[in-house]
Structure 1
C-alpha cells in the first residue's frame, strides 16, 4: 500500500511537471510574477502589439504585477524592472551595463565585441566612446556653425509664422551627425535639399532616407514583430540597410586613403577594428546619434515654449555665463540650469524609455532570483514617471536636489553610465539652447496636443509647431 502511495504521488508530480512543460501558458518567466505566454511561439508579442508599444505594454505590466514583473518575448522569458530601488539592486553588482549602442547592435545583428570575449567587447566600447569624444572636441566649431545657420533662418521668420520643430531639428541633427561622423562628403547639403542629380547629392539623399527608414523599422517593426510578418516591409528595410552599409564602407575607404584625422570614422580607422566593425560602429552612431539628438532638441524646445518662466531663467544664466560670446566646450559645465532643463526634458519626455541587458550570471532583485541568460528589461519610461520618485509636471528646479541627481545618474542619464550618444546629444542641444534662447523667444501654439510615441526613443506622434519672436 505504501509503495502504491509513493508511486501515485510520484506519478502526480511527473504529470504536473509535464503539463507545465508542454503548456507554456502555465509557466511564469523565471518564477517571477507576471504574464503567462499567450502563444507558444510568440509569447506575449500580441499583448505588446495590442498596447501600441513596448513602453505602453511595460506600463500596464508593472501596474498589474509590481516593480519586478515578467513576460515572454517569443520563447524567451523576460524580467522587467520598473523602479529605482530594483534597478539599483540589479545595476550595482553589474557596473558594465549594456549601453544603448549595444542594444542597437543586437537589433541590427551586429557583433558587440571584437570576436574574443568580454575584454575585447570592453576595448571596442572604449574605442567607440573615445571616437565620439574626440570628434566633438575636434569639430565643436562646426556644431556651432550648423546651429547658427538654423537660428539665423528662424530669425528671418515673421513672428506669427508656424515653425515645424520635428522637420527642422531632425535636419539639424542629421546634418550635424553625418558631418561629424563621416566628414567632407556630407558637408554641403545643398545638393540634398535641391535634389540635384550629381553623385554626392544623390548618395547623401539615399543615405538620409535610408537612415530614417532603418530607424523607423528598428523602433517599431522589430519590437512588435510586425517587420517579420511583412515580406515587403522587411525587403524595403533590408534594401535600405544594405544601401546605407555600402555608403559607410565607401566613406571609410575614402577617409583611409586620405589619412585624415578629424571625424568619428577617422578615429576608428586608427584602431585595430576590422573594416566591417568600423562600418557597424559608424552605422550605430549615425542612427542613434541622429535620432536621440533630434528628439532631445525637439522635446526641449517644446517644453521651453510652454514656460516663459523657465525660458527667462535659462536666458539669465546664459547671459551671466556667456555674455554675448558663442558657447564653448569649456563653458558648458558652467551652464548648470541648462543641464537641469535637459535632464527634465529627458525625464518628462521619457526620451529613452527602454534599455536591456542579458543576465550574465544568476542574480537577485528583492526576493526574486533572476537565472543566468535571462533577458532583463530596464523599464526606464516607467521609472521616470514613478510618482514616488518624481513629481510632475515639467520642473527643471527638481535637479537642484542631490537625491534627484543621484537617481537620474543611476538610470544612466548622467555621470559615467551615460550612453555616448546621449552625451553627444546633450552637447548639441546645449549649443542649440545657448544660441537660440539668447536671441529668440519660443511660443506654444494654443490648442496643440503633444502626443508621445514611445519606441526605442520617444518621439512626438505628429509634427509639433511653435512660433518664435525676437528678444528685445
Structure 2
C-alpha cells in the first residue's frame, strides 16, 4: 500500500517548490507523455496559474495525456499519476519520512529533526499521533460541550434565518484544536481570535511564494506574514512555559512536554497540528453539513442510525466506531468535495509505472482530485452517495488513496472525530435545509473549501410518535 503520508496534500503547491528547491533533481527527460515547458525558466507555471489551481491544471493534463503524464516545474520534470491502477504501482520504499511534516516545516523555515535517522523519525511520528489520540480521549467531554454550545446557538435561530457554515464551523474548529492541543488558556475567546488572526495570515501565504513569487515581490505581504509567524511562535512558547509549570498531562502539548523532544521540536509539532488541524477539521464539517442539507434521504437515514445507536444519550467516544453510516457519510464527503486534491512524493530511487521509467529524484504528484472523481473507479462520481462505500472495491480504493485504514493521518482522524460529534449532536435535534438556488462551488486549493460562504437554514426536528406496543409490550 502506498504510504501517502496524508495531508501533504494540503501544502502541495508549496511542496512542489520546496522539494525541487531542497533536493537536487535529475534533469533527464522522463519520456512520459505530457506538456513541453511554455517558458524556459518557469516551465508550465503560467499554465497552472491560468487554470486557477494545480488541481484544475491536472484535470486537463490527464484528460489530454492519460493516467501517467508529465509537466515542468521551472526547468525540472514532474510526473503526475491520475488513476488508482497507476497509483497502486507507485511504491515508494521510504516509509519513515513524512512528506507533509518535512515540506511544511521547510516552508516555515524549520530544520530540526530533518537530519535524524529513520528510527528517530518513526518514534517522533508515533509520539505525535499518540499525543493527538490521547488528547481526544481525555478531553472528549470538552469537545462534546463545544459542539453542544454551537447546536444550542443554532436552535435559537428563527427557522428562516440563513446560517453561515464556514464562519461558524471554522470557529468551532479553532476552539477544539486550540483547547485540545494547547489547553484552557483558549477558553478565552479573545485568545482564540488572536490565534485565528495569525493562523489565517500564515495559512493564506504558505506556498504562494513558491508558485508565483508574489510573496517575495510584495514587501508589505512578506512583512505581514513574518510578523504573524513570529507572533504565533511567541504565543506557543508562552503556552509551553505555562504548561511546564503546571505539570499537567491532559492536552496534546503536555504529552510532547513529557517527552525527550527539544523545545524547538515541540514548537514545530504544535505549529503543524494547529495550522493543518484547524483547516482540515473546519472544511470537513462544512462540506458534510452542506451535502446533508442537499440530501434529505441521507440526512434521515443518518438520523435513524443515531437514534438506534445513541437513543437520547450524548455521543461518547466508545460509540463513535458504531456509527457506521456516519463514517460512510464522512468518507463520501471527503471524496465528493475532493477535500485534499493533490499529494506528492520525491522519487527516491528509480521507479516504474506501466512501461514508464521514473528517474530518481523526480517529483511524483498524486492527482487525488482526478482519481476521486474518475468514472472508472466511482459509479456516477459527481453524485453524493454514501452507499457506494458499502462495496468493497470502493473501500479498497479509498484506503489506497490514504483516506482510511492504517494510513489515515492523525489530523484527519481528529477531524473525523469532531465531525462525528457534530453530526451526532446536530442531526438528532435539527434538520438542515439548502437555500433554494444556492450552489456552493468548490475552490480546490490547499484544502478544498467553498468558493464563497455556504448558507443553510435549520429547523427543529419533529420526532415521530412511537409505534404502538404489541401484546408483549416490546412493540413487535
TM-score, scaled to structure 2? 0.87
CA distance in 2: counterparts of 1:466 and 1:111, whole angstroms? 44
Distance in 1 (CA, whole Å) between partners of 2:92 and 2:345 is 14
**TM superposition shift of 1:270:** 1.5
Q: Tell me how far apart the structure 2 counterparts of residues 436 and 394 of structure 1 sit (CA, whole Å).
A: 20
Query: Could you report, residue by residue, the CA deviation over 1:231-278 in whole angstroms, capped at 9, with x for unpaired residues?
Result: 322221121111111111221122122211111111111122111111
Give the deviation of 1:72 after TM superposition.
1.9
Contact 1:103/1:356, CA 8 A, preserved across alignment: no
Counterpart of 1:159 in structure 2 is 159
Q: Does 1:433 align with 2:423?
A: yes
Root-mean-square deviation (CA, aligned residues, Å) is: 1.8
CA displacement, residues 394-434 of structure 1 (integer Å, 9 cap, x when unaligned): 00000000110010000010001111111110000000000
| Secondary structure at 1:413 match in 2 | coil
Does the Cα contact within 8 Å between 1:112 and 1:121 map onto a contact in 2?
no
Unaligned runs of 5+ residues in structure 2 are 1-26, 463-476
Shift of 1:470: 0.2
C-alpha contact (below 8 Å) 2:290/2:456 kept by paired residues: yes
Q: Any conservation in 1 of the 2:28–2:359 contact (CA below 8 Å)? A: no
Aligned residue for 1:457, secondary structure, equals coil
CA contact (8 A) 1:439 1:470 kept: yes
Q: Which has the higher helix share?
A: 1
Structure 2 contact 169–282 (Cα < 8 Å) conserved = yes
Give per-residue Cα distances to partners, 1:348-399, cap 9 Å, x unaligned: 0000111111122211111111122111111111110111111230000000
Say which structure, 1 or 2, has more relative contact order (CA 8 Å, 6+ apart): 2
1:49 aligned partner: 49
- Comparing 150-159 with 113-122, which one deviates more in the overlay? 113-122
Residues in 2 aligned to 1:119 and 1:67: alpha-carbon distance in whole angstroms = 35
Question: Structure 2 vs 1, CA of residues 274 and 319 (structure 1 numbering), >3 Å: closer, same or farther?
Answer: same
Give the alignment partner of residue 203 of structure 2, picking from 190, 206, 215. Answer: 215
Residues 323-348 of structure 1: per-residue CA shift (max 9 Å, x gap): 11111111111111000000000000
CA distance in 2, matches of 1:292, 1:373: 29
- Which moved further from structure 2: 416-425 or 63-72? 63-72
Using the TM superposition, name which of 95-104 and 292-301 deviates more. Answer: 95-104
Question: Quick check: 1:379 aligned with 2:367?
Answer: yes
**Is residue 73 of structure 1 aligned with residue 73 of structure 2?**
yes
Shift of 1:450: 0.9
Q: C-alpha distance in 2, partners of 1:228/1:91?
A: 36
Change beyond 3 A, Cα 1:210–1:437 = same
* Residue 420 in structure 1 maps to residue 410 in structure 2: yes
Asked whether the equivalents of residues 102 and 112 of structure 1 are also in contact (C-alpha less than 8 Å), the reply is: no
- Structure 1 stretches of 5 or more lacking a match? 1-26, 193-200
Q: Distance in 2 between matches of 1:252 and 1:75?
A: 43
2:434 maps to 1:444? yes
Q: Secondary structure at the match of 2:236?
A: helix
Q: Trace 1:149-228 onto structure 2 (pairs within 5 A).
A: 149-189=149-189, 192=190, 201=191, 204-218=192-206, 220=208, 222-228=210-216
Q: Tell me how far apart the structure 2 counterparts of residues 265 and 345 of structure 1 sit (CA, whole Å).
A: 30
Q: CA deviation at 1:141?
A: 0.9
1:244 aligns with 2:204: no
The answer (yes or no) to whether the contact 2:96–2:118 under 8 Å persists in 1 is: no
- The residue correspondences of 1:276-425 to structure 2 (distance < 5 A) are 276-390=264-378, 391-392=380-381, 393-425=383-415
**Larger radius of gyration between Structure 1 and Structure 2:** 1
Counterpart CA distance in 2 for 1:65 and 1:226 is 30
Give per-residue Cα distances to partners, 1:158-211, cap 9 Å, x unaligned.
Answer: 10000000000000000100111110111222xx2xxxxxxxx4xx43321010
The question of 1:467 aligning with 2:457 is answered yes
Report the CA distance shift for 1:320/1:221 in structure 2 as closer, same or farther (over 3 A). farther
Distance 2:96 2:83 in 1: 20
- 1:315 Cα shift? 0.1
Indicate the SS of the match to 2:377.
coil
Contact 1:351 1:457 in 2 (8 A): yes
Distance of aligned partners of 1:225 and 1:49 in 2 relative to their CA distance in 1, 3 Å threshold? farther
Corresponding position of 2:473: none
- Residue pairs, 1:140-151, within 5 angstroms: 140-151=140-151
SS in 2 for 1:31: coil
1:331 and 1:279 map into 2 onto residues whose CA distance is 33
The change in CA–CA distance for 1:223 and 1:328 in structure 2 (over 3 A counts) is farther
TM-score normalised per structure 1: 0.88
SS class of match (2:77): strand
Q: CA deviation at 1:96?
A: 5.0
SS where residue 277 of structure 1 aligns? Answer: helix
Q: How many residues align?
A: 434
Tell me, yes or no, if the aligned pair for 1:28 and 1:34 is still in contact at 8 Å: no
Conserved in 1, the CA contact under 8 Å of 2:97 and 2:118?
no
Structure 1 pair 280–37 and aligned structure 2 pair: CA distance change class (3 A): same
| Cα pair distance change 1:385/1:335, threshold 3 Å | same
